[in-house]
């Protein structure tokens, strides 16, 4: 029996969220999708529809190509990072 070939992930969404300490809940809200959808993207169960990539790029302050492969160090915080900081502050303050 042949071994099943492991495929490389197509998108780096989970890595980008993790690298920038972006909360999945905040990202889901900004993308106007449910948390389960974000989880499926992160775990490579499904990939986002191509029409979502421009918004995803804007929300995360990355080039669309960065969603596929890392290209350069970004400058400044993304909208998702800023909103995650607000979200965490709200959770701390009740």
Note the pLDDT tens digit of each residue in 21-33: 999 999 999 999 9
The predicted-structure confidence for 52-87, as pLDDT tens digits, reads as follows 999 999 999 999 998 987 666 667 888 999 999 999
| The two structure tokens encoding residue 14 | 């989970």
The set of residues, in sequence order, having a beta carbon less than 8 Å from that of 88 and lying 6+ positions away, is: 23
CATH number at residue 25: 1.10.260.40
Range of 76's domain?
Answer: 13-93
For residue 8, tell me if it sits in a domain: no
**What is the pLDDT, as a whole number, of residue 8?**
57
How many domains would you assign to the chain? 1
Three-state DSSP string of the chain: CCCCCCCCCCCCHHHHHHHCCCCHHHHHHHHCCCHHHHHHHHCCCCCCCHHHHHHHHHHHCCCHHHHCCCCCCCCCCCHHHHHHHHHHHHHHHC
Output the pLDDT for position 49: 94
CA 32 vs. chain centroid, Å, equals: 13
Does residue 1 have a pLDDT over 50?
no
In a domain, residue 68? The reply is yes
């Amino acid at each position: 029996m042949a071994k099943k070939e492991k495929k490389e992930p197509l998108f780096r969404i989970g890595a980008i969220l993790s690298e920038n300490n972006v909360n999945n809940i905040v990202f889901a809200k900004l993308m106007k999708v449910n948390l389960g959808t974000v989880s499926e993207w992160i775990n490579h169960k499904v990939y986002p529809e191509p029409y979502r990539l421009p918004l995803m790029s804007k929300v995360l302050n990355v080039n669309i190509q960065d969603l596929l492969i890392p290209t350069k160090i970004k400058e400044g915080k993304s909208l998702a990072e800023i909103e995650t900081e607000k979200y965490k502050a709200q959770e701390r303050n009740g």
